[in-house]
Structure 1
Amino acid sequence: MEIRPIKTETDYEATLKEIEGLMAAAGGSPEGDRLDVLVTLVEAYERDHYPMDFPDPVEAIKFRMEQQGLTVDDLVPVIGRKNRVYEILARKRPLTLRMIEGLHETFAIPAESLLKHSTHRGSHAA
């Protein structure tokens, strides 16, 4: 089982292709063990070369709404009146700490996303 570090984009692409061929491997088999090691190498390479940042708070809320089929009315108990929800979604009003806590607890939106400062010019820090 010759396994080398992923150092270049070419190595990365070749490793992804090999992983694709091993996806049906049984756990605990030599192929399954190779798959585990290769996936770990790919994750390390991606963490260094393709870092993922958390979405901004409004995008995180909109994503969860779409994912769970939520409406503005579903957000009212956590954010406040309907017009306040629309202001948040339009980036005209910042989230308060109470809103962040409620969105995180009620809808399991990652707090890291909700606490991130928006890059929108008119926004305020939460």
Structure 2
Amino acid sequence: MIAEAIEASKALMKAVPLLGGSTSTADYKSALELIDYLIEHDDENPLIEFLSAKIESYERLHADFVPFNTALENLPRGVEALRQLMKDYGLKQSDLREEIGGKSLVSQILSGKRSLTVEHIRALAVRFNVPTSVFIG
């Protein structure tokens, strides 16, 4: 049984992009396609977790992502990050109705009278395609 499990894991590492330690762009793109397929067709497949970790590692370490990661690290945190992103995207307070609510609530958050909720943070992270941690702190 142990020998079979070891052989199966070796075969899996060869068959699934990035699991075998490859850092090629082609394998990265294949891994993205595979994870998209799995999420859409088999969202409880354990490969999703493994691939997600490998994709995250690739994106954190690969030279193609250095400028993006550097820019992300240099973003201000919390409400300051929101202010900067609004400026970068040319957004007004009323443009955040879907993520936060009305202009009045956005104004209160930007002035520090109210805090971002977990729901706000999640919605903003999706809108701006950044980690939720950008809006915390």
Pick the TM interval, shorter chain.
0.3 to 0.5
**Which has more helix, going by share of residues?**
2
Q: Which has the larger radius of gyration?
A: 1
**TM-score, with length taken from structure 1:** 0.47
Higher relative contact order (CA 8 A, sep 6+): 1
**TM-score, with length taken from structure 2:** 0.44
